[in-house]
């Protein structure tokens, strides 16, 4: 605004003067006009508004971080992009509008969803690897550690939920008792064999994925006695042994994850809670035997409350998620209120599934999704092309699983690092807070400059307003074109930049003061001061820009927006100083104003020697 | 800001001297005093950090933060009790904002998804709103470390780039001094955070980086003036390098104070609003660290960075010799009364110096002439600054 009047009025005068000032104003006007035109066009011929971040308009933002299997090896860009696309399709399938999914840094994927209608639980799962494994069950026991007030660990009759049919749609009514009784004899051998295999491959296969925790550390932590006993287990231990194995209950999920599968399974002190919390990918390797749990079931009858789950010892997987050609949601034939996921195998997968079912008729096959056993039906007869996964699904859950199977599994595992859910109300409060801080900051700086530099304070104000007039359409334009959002941290960056921008004027004005102290008039002091100021400003602002660039490129989290705001402001600041502040100071210096001792704020001579000003004025 | 206020409260003459740029504080001659002061300060900061440690924010330990609107139905204690009843461990609770926007901010330890949702529902029931009216922020225990690690990488890259920049733009000594001043700022800011018990969050870490930029910005402006003031120093015997730098610092002092104040004003507004309206969060974290850092940054560029440059410069033979020349000239001027004693002493010194350091002297001379004559391929390291400066001047 200020520039308009500044440009129009002085033109006549300027043409007579040596230094052309008009071109600067014209250039500035051209830049401002262009930016506004572009941003209005970008906003669809409406008044442009910046794209507000989720913390200012309400919404959910989630950061997923790649869980590195090996601490030295970072996922490459291609893998991250692949993961991003899969996550984006999963987010879209939850039915939210206009989600934003982007890669941040080298190992983070950020999911932004505006509005408050998003389903947090569903969104949280978009980072799940969705690795499907079909594994033959070696042995299964009930884990009752989640129950309170239960004297006897065995509880019959309440297990139907976990028990499903594989090839037929009939509800499997036979609980663990029967199925586990028959194979019990040979599973002892199986377990021993499986255990031996795990033991031998353990140092390479089980320990590597965990990065920090090694199996030796864990053995050390539980003590040699417990370690030895646990390793020799091949059936559930008696009560006395269980006491020795107590230290295992204290292990963290990561530590449990590095233990051999038979230890994880047979040590009763290792609960399903610990197993479920293992890092993602803990049971992913199809080549080895693993231990896993079914999802916890709520129990509430009389004195027993809490959850119980089933613990499984599972054989290596022959059929995996990539063998699935197509998945869709169906209804359980036996119980129309329950949903199932129908799975079609690829040609290759069908062969393997056929072999698997043929060889293991009468045994249970566990369908393992990530770290959890979704269901473990008994194989009644051999089948080939398709199967049905039936857990205790709601229609949403069944849909989600089907989508996950269709989109494929993620190339790398992710863990949820942060979730920020901001209500629209809080968003408004935060936006107001940011704008208020900006207004107060501007006002304070203006008042200070007015007091200190008198009339030059208005140049500061004019320059700051010009910067605002340039920044606003720029931010709007970047919002509509490249999706830059204005977040709270970004607002903070702009507020902080007020100070840095105003400082440019301080450098300039102090320099003019210095020249005038040497006895020059404003007319000759201003251009002289500019020559030096220019150099100083460029050096000093180069530092700010380097800082902003480094932060923007290397930092993660909300502070990147801060860095962006700071960098953008610095660039605009340089432009404003060159195209507005300097020319207007030059122009003012030609008049009498700046030579006025009382008004200019540049005079440093005491009133005793006002001769200069008086003689010129 | 505190400096500013102090100045304002002092007798008006100092203030008006400052305003008129007539100040002539003995920053450089009395630099040892400031070194001692800073050393004590830094030692105290390190001691505080070791003894007291830091208050780490939610992002480092991991945990949840709920922003519950205050409907007037429940007190903070009741809301906390409701959350605790749902099985979460309460870390802290506070009120934020005022009027209609007032809200409770409840922080808890890390929970699983279900517990978090239960706690949210319980608190929503307590204050009588829908659970979607409660903002939630959940952070894993590893996130803070990841953010800090990235900040550390950024710090290292930044320092390398900056050192290179100042080295190229100014000179080696200034790059070293600027780095030293940066270290000082970091330690001092960290010490103040530890002392007062401000919470350290990832935003604080990144705010630190911004401070560094700010502190450097200030230092660069001072250095720019130093460079200007001392570019022709070696050709005349009017001033020693130390005196030249002291003048430069005095000339930029008002600017430094103004910068500090003008920088601190909006940040102060941010801090005030951040704490007053929002209670906790990015805004407060950033503003707090910037506020502290802007003040320490100004202090260090005036009292530390510039004097360090002098210290380093005075160790070089070129400047030693120049100091000697200035001293001689001054002695020669004022030696009407006592001719004999100092003169002989000075002369012997001068001779000795020239015998001892013939090489640097010639190098300096060569580069000076080289600068005048368009420049040799690679002037000596130290005098190159003055040589290239001359050339730059000529071009203009």
- The answer to whether residues A294 and A135 touch, using CB atoms and an 8 Å cutoff, is no
Whether B53 contacts B200, CB under 8 Å: no
Confidence of residue A470 (pLDDT cuts 50, 70, 90): very high
Residue B241: its pLDDT value, please? 82
| pLDDT at B356 exceeding the cut of 50 | no
Interface test with chain B among A421, A437, A541, by most B beta carbons within 10 Å: A437
The pLDDT value given to residue B20: 65
pLDDT of res. A196: 38
Q: How confident is the model at residue A597 (pLDDT cuts 50, 70, 90)?
A: low
**Residue B391 — very low, low, confident or very high, per pLDDT cuts 50/70/90?**
very low
Report the relative pairing of strands A132-143 and A365-369 from DSSP bridges: antiparallel
Provide CB contacts within 8 A for A516, sequence distance 6+.
Answer: A522, A525, A602, A603, A604, A605
B383 vs B47: which has the higher pLDDT:
B47
Contact call for residues A310 and A140 (beta carbons, < 8 A): yes
Residue contact B140–A417, C-beta within 8 A = yes
Residue B164 or residue B199, greater confidence? B164
Lowest mean pLDDT among A590-594, B180-184, B241-245: A590-594
The pLDDT-based confidence of A147 (bands split at 50, 70, 90) is: low
What gap in Å lies between CA A566 and CA A573, rounded to an integer?
A: 10
Return the pLDDT at A68. Answer: 67
**Residue B382's pLDDT is what?**
41
Per-residue pLDDT, averaged over B354-360, amounts to 40
- pLDDT tens digit string along A383-435? 777 787 777 777 777 777 777 777 777 777 788 888 888 888 788 888 888 88
- C-alpha angle B140/B141/B144, rounded to 5°? 95
Give CA torsion, residues B349, B352, B358, B364, to 10 deg: -10
| Residue A5 or B141, more confident | B141
Q: What is the mean pLDDT of chain B?
A: 73
| Beta sheet of A324-331, edge-to-edge order | A324-331, A339-345, A386-393
583-612 in chain A: CB under 8 A from chain B: 604-606
- The residues that bridge with A63 in the sheet, in sequence order, are A110, A418
Tell me the pLDDT band of A278, cut-offs 50, 70 and 90.
confident
Tell me which residue in A489, A496, A554 faces B282 most closely, judged by beta carbons. Answer: A489
What is the rounded CA–CA span in Å between residue B133 and residue B66?
10
Q: What is the dihedral of CA B250, B251, B255, B257, to 10 degrees?
A: 10
Q: Which residues in chain B have their CB less than 8 angstroms from residue A573's CB?
A: none
Assign A214 to helix, strand or coil: coil
pLDDT greater at residue B11 or residue A247: A247
Q: Is residue A187 scored above 50 in pLDDT?
A: no
Sign of CA dihedral A330, A333, A338, A342: negative
Kindly tell me if the per-residue pLDDT of A267 is higher than 50. Answer: yes
Using pLDDT thresholds of 50, 70 and 90, give the confidence band for residue A527: confident
For residue A607, the chain B residue with the least C-alpha distance is B20
pLDDT-derived band at A604 (thresholds 50, 70, 90) equals low
Residues of A with Cβ-Cβ distance to B157 under 8 angstroms: 550, 554
Residue B87 confidence (pLDDT): 79
Q: How far apart are CA B219 and CA B154, in angstroms?
A: 20
Pick from A290, A302, A275: nearest CA to A158: A302
The position carrying tokens 């049971």 is: A283
Give the A window 488-507 contacts with B, CB below 8 Å: 488-489, 492, 495-496, 498-500, 502-503, 506-507
**Side-chain half-sphere exposure of B45, counting CA atoms within 13 A:** 18
Report pLDDT for A76: 79
As given in the structure block, the two tokens for residue A599 are 């008004």
Say whether residue A535 is in contact with chain B using an 8 A CB cutoff: yes
**Residue A295: φ, ψ to 5°:** -70, 145
- Strand locations in A451-551, DSSP E? 485-486
Predicted local confidence at residue A180, as pLDDT? 38
Per DSSP, the three-state class of B38 is: helix
Model confidence at A612, pLDDT cuts 50, 70, 90, reads very low
Selected residues 31-90 of chain A with any CB under 8 Å from a CB in chain B = 63, 65
User: From the list B138, B281, B290, which residue is nearest A418 (CB)?
Assistant: B138
Place of tokens 């996921």: A341
Out of A63, A438, A444, the one facing B265 most closely (by C-beta) is A444
Confidence category of residue A118, pLDDT binned at 50, 70, 90 = low
Please name which of A66, A62, A556 lies closest in space to residue A279, comparing C-alpha atoms.
A66
Would the pTM of this model clear 0.80, i.e. be above it? no
What the block records as the tokens of A241 is 């042994």
The predicted-structure confidence for A204-220, as pLDDT tens digits, reads as follows 333 334 446 777 777 88
Phi, psi dihedrals of residue A374, rounded to the nearest 5°: -75, -45
The pLDDT of residue A572 is 92
Half-sphere exposure of A214 (CA within 13 A, CB side): 5
Binary contact (A551, B210; C-beta < 8 A): yes
**pLDDT band of A162, cuts 50, 70, 90:** very low
- Token reading at A350: 């069908």
Chain B positions touching A419 (Cβ under 8 A) are 136-138
Give the pLDDT score at A594: 65
Closest listed residue to residue A244, CA positions, set A266, A217, A274, A261 = A266
pLDDT recorded at residue A328: 83
The rounded Cα A377 to chain-centroid distance in angstroms is: 37
The C-alpha atoms of residue B138 and residue B60 are separated, in whole angstroms, by: 12
Comparison of pLDDT for A352 and B21, the residue scoring more: A352
- Residues of chain B contacting A422 with CB distance shorter than 8 Å: 135
Poorest-confidence range of A188-197, A240-249, A550-559?
Answer: A188-197
Q: Round the average pLDDT of chain A to a whole number and report it.
A: 74
Q: How confident is the model at residue A571 (pLDDT cuts 50, 70, 90)?
A: very high
Estimate the crossing angle of helix A215-222 against helix A224-232, to 10 degrees.
110
Determine contact, residues B308/B226, Cβ cutoff 8 Å: no
What are chain A's domains? 2-53+423-616 (1.20.1640.10), 127-146+162-419 (3.30.1360.200)
CB contact under 8 A, B161 and A546: yes
Residues in A closer than 8 angstroms to B97, CB to CB, are 429
Q: CA distances (Å), A590 to each of A22, A506, A515, A578, in order?
A: 14, 20, 16, 18
Q: Which residues of B touch A550 (CB under 8 A)?
A: 154, 157-158, 161, 209
Task: Tell me the CA end-to-end span of chain B in Å, nearest whole number.
Answer: 38
Q: Alpha-carbon dihedral of residues A246, A252, A258, A263, nearest 10 degrees? A: 20
By Cβ distance, the residue of A441, A492, A514 closest to B21 is A514
B138 → closest Cβ in A419, A429, A546: A419
Cα–Cα distances in angstroms (integers) from residue A104 to residues A77, A128, A279, A281, A551, in the given order = 11, 18, 22, 22, 13
- Minimum mean pLDDT range among A124-128, A602-606, B91-95, B168-172: A602-606
Name the band, by pLDDT with cuts 50, 70 and 90, for residue B142.
Answer: confident
- Band of the pLDDT at A69, cuts 50, 70, 90? low
Interface touch B273/A437, C-beta < 8 Å:
yes
Whole-number percent of chain A with pLDDT over 90? 4
Q: Report CA dihedral (B193, B195, B198, B199) to the nearest 10 degrees.
A: 80
The alpha carbon of B188 is separated from its chain's Cα centroid by a whole number of angstroms, namely 9
Are the CB atoms for A559 and B206 separated by under 8 Å? yes
Q: In what order do the strands lie in the sheet with B135-139?
A: A100-104, A108-114, A59-66, A414-422, B135-139, B63-69, B103-108, B90-96
- Rounded Cα distance between A40 and A49, Å, is 9
Average pLDDT over residues A58-82: 76
Distance in angstroms (rounded) separating the CA atoms of residues A136 and B232: 87
Could you give the count of Cα atoms lying within 13 Å of B35 in the half-sphere of its Cβ?
Answer: 12
Out of A6-20, A304-318, B140-154, B250-264, least confident range? A6-20
Residue of B nearest to A419 (CA): B138
Distance of alpha carbon B277 from alpha carbon B273, whole angstroms: 5
The SS3 assignment for A150 reads coil
For residues B359 and B374, give the distance between their C-alpha atoms in angstroms, rounded to a whole number: 22
Flag whether residue A123 sits within 8 Å of chain B, measured between CB atoms. no
Quote the distance between the C-alpha of residue A65 and its chain's center: 7
Per-residue pLDDT band for A33 (boundaries 50, 70, 90) equals very high
A258 touches chain B (CB under 8 A): no
B269-320 confidence digits (pLDDT tens): 888 887 777 766 667 777 888 888 888 888 888 888 888 888 888 888 887 8
- A528-545: average pLDDT: 85
What's the pLDDT score for residue B242? 82
CB atoms within 10 A of CB B68: 26
Task: Check pLDDT > 70 for residue A172.
Answer: no
Select the residue of B19, B146, B221 nearest A65 (Cβ to Cβ): B146
Contact B154 A551 (CB under 8 A): yes
Residues in chain A, how many?
617
Q: What structural domains does chain B harbor?
A: 2-56+143-315 (1.20.1640.10), 64-139 (3.30.70.260), 357-396 (no CATH)
Distance from CA of B215 to the nearest CA of A (A): 10
């Amino acid at each position: 605004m200020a520039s308009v009047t500044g440009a129009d009025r002085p033109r006549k005068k300027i043409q007579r003067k040596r230094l052309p000032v008009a071109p600067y104003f014209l250039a500035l006007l051209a830049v401002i006009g262009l930016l506004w035109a572009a941003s209005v066009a970008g906003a669809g011929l409406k008044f442009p508004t910046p794209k507000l971040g989720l913390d200012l308009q309400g919404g959910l933002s989630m950061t997923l971080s790649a869980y590195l299997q090996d601490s030295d090896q970072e996922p490459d860009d291609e893998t991250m992009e692949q993961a991003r696309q899969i996550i984006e399709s999963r987010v879209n399938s939850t039915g939210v509008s206009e989600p934003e999914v982007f890669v941040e840094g080298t190992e983070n994927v950020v999911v932004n969803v505006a509005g408050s209608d998003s389903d947090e639980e569903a969104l949280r799962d978009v980072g799940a690897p969705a690795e499907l494994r079909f594994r033959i069950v070696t042995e299964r026991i009930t884990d009752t550690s989640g129950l309170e007030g239960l004297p006897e660990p065995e509880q019959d009759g309440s297990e139907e939920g976990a028990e499903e049919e594989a090839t037929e749609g009939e509800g499997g009514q036979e609980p663990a008792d029967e199925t586990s009784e028959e194979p019990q004899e040979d599973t002892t051998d199986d377990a021993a064999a499986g255990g031996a295999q795990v033991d031998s491959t353990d140092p390479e296969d089980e320990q590597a994925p965990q990065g920090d925790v090694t199996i030796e550390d864990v053995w050390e932590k539980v003590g040699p006695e417990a370690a030895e006993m646990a390793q020799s287990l091949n059936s559930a231990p008696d009560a006395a042994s269980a006491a020795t194995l107590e230290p295992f209950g204290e292990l963290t999920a990561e530590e449990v994850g590095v233990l051999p599968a038979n230890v994880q399974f047979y040590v009763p002190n290792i609960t399903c809670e610990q197993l479920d919390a293992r890092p993602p990918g803990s049971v992913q390797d199809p080549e080895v035997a693993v231990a896993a749990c079914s999802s916890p079931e709520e129990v509430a009858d009389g004195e027993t409350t809490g959850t119980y789950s089933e613990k499984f010892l599972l054989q290596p997987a022959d059929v995996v998620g990539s063998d699935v050609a197509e998945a869709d949601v169906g209804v359980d034939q036996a119980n129309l209120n329950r949903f199932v996921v129908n799975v079609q195998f690829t040609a290759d997968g069908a062969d393997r599934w056929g072999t698997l079912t043929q060889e293991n008729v009468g045994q249970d096959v566990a369908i393992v999704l990530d770290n959890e056993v979704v269901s473990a039906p008994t194989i009644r007869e051999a089948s080939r092309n398709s199967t049905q996964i039936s857990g205790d699904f709601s229609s949403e859950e069944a849909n989600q699983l089907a989508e996950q199977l269709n989109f494929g599994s993620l190339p790398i595992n992710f863990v949820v690092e942060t979730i920020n859910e901001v209500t629209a109300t809080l968003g408004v409060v935060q936006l107001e807070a940011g704008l208020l801080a900006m207004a107060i900051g501007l006002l304070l700086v203006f008042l200070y400059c007015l007091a200190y530099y008198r009339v030059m304070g208005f140049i500061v104000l004019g320059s700051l307003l010009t910067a605002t007039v340039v920044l606003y359409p720029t931010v709007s334009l970047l919002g509509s074109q490249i999706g830059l959002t204005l977040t709270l941290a970004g607002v903070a960056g702009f507020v902080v930049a007020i100070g840095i921008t105003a400082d440019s004027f301080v450098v300039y004005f102090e320099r003019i003061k210095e020249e005038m102290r040497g006895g020059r008039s404003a007319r000759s002091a201003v251009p002289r001061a500019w020559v030096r100021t220019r150099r100083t400003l460029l050096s000093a602002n180069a530092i700010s820009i380097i800082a902003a660039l480094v932060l923007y490129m290397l930092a993660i989290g909300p502070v990147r927006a801060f860095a962006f705001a700071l960098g953008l402001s610095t660039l605009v600041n340089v432009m404003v100083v060159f195209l507005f502040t300097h020319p207007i100071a030059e122009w003012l210096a030609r008049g009498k104003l700046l030579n006025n001792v009382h008004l200019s704020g540049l005079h440093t001579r005491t009133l005793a020697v006002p001769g200069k000003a008086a003689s010129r004025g | 800001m505190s400096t500013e206020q102090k100045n304002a409260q002092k007798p008006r003459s100092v203030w008006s001297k400052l305003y008129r740029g007539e100040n002539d504080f003995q920053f450089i001659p009395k630099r040892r005093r400031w070194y001692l002061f800073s050393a004590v300060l830094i030692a105290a900061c390190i001691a505080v950090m070791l003894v007291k440690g830091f208050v780490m924010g939610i992002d480092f330990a991991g945990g949840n933060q709920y922003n519950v609107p205050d409907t007037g139905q429940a007190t903070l204690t009741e809301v906390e009790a409701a959350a605790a009843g749902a099985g979460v461990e309460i870390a802290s609770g506070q009120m934020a904002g005022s009027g209609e926007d007032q809200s409770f901010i409840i922080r808890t330890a890390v929970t699983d998804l279900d517990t978090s949702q239960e706690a949210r529902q319980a608190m929503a029931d307590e204050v009588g709103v829908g659970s979607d009216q409660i903002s939630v922020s959940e952070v894993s225990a590893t996130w803070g470390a990841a953010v800090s690690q990235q900040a550390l990488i950024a710090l290292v890259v930044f320092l390398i780039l900056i050192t290179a920049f100042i080295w190229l733009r100014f000179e080696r000594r200034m790059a070293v001094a600027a780095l030293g001043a940066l270290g000082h700022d970091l330690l001092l800011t960290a010490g103040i955070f530890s002392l007062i018990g401000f919470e350290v969050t990832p935003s604080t870490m990144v705010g630190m980086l911004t401070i560094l930029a700010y502190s450097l910005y200030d230092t660069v402006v001072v250095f720019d003036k130093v460079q200007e003031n001392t570019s022709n120093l070696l050709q005349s015997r009017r001033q020693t390098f130390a005196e030249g730098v002291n003048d430069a610092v005095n000339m930029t002092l008002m600017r430094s104070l103004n910068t500090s104040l003008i920088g601190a004003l909006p940040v102060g507004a941010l801090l005030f609003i951040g704490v007053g309206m929002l209670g906790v969060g990015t805004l407060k974290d950033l503003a707090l660290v910037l506020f502290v850092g802007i003040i320490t940054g100004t202090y260090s560029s005036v009292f530390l960075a510039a004097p360090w440059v002098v210290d380093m410069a005075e160790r070089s033979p070129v400047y030693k010799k120049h100091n000697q020349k200035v001293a001689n000239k001054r002695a020669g001027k004022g030696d009407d009364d006592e001719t004999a004693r100092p003169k002989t002493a000075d002369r012997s010194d001068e001779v000795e110096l020239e015998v001892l350091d013939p090489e640097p002297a010639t190098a300096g001379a060569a580069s000076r002439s080289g600068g005048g004559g368009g420049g040799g391929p690679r002037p000596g390291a130290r005098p190159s600054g003055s040589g290239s400066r001359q050339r730059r001047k000529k071009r203009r």
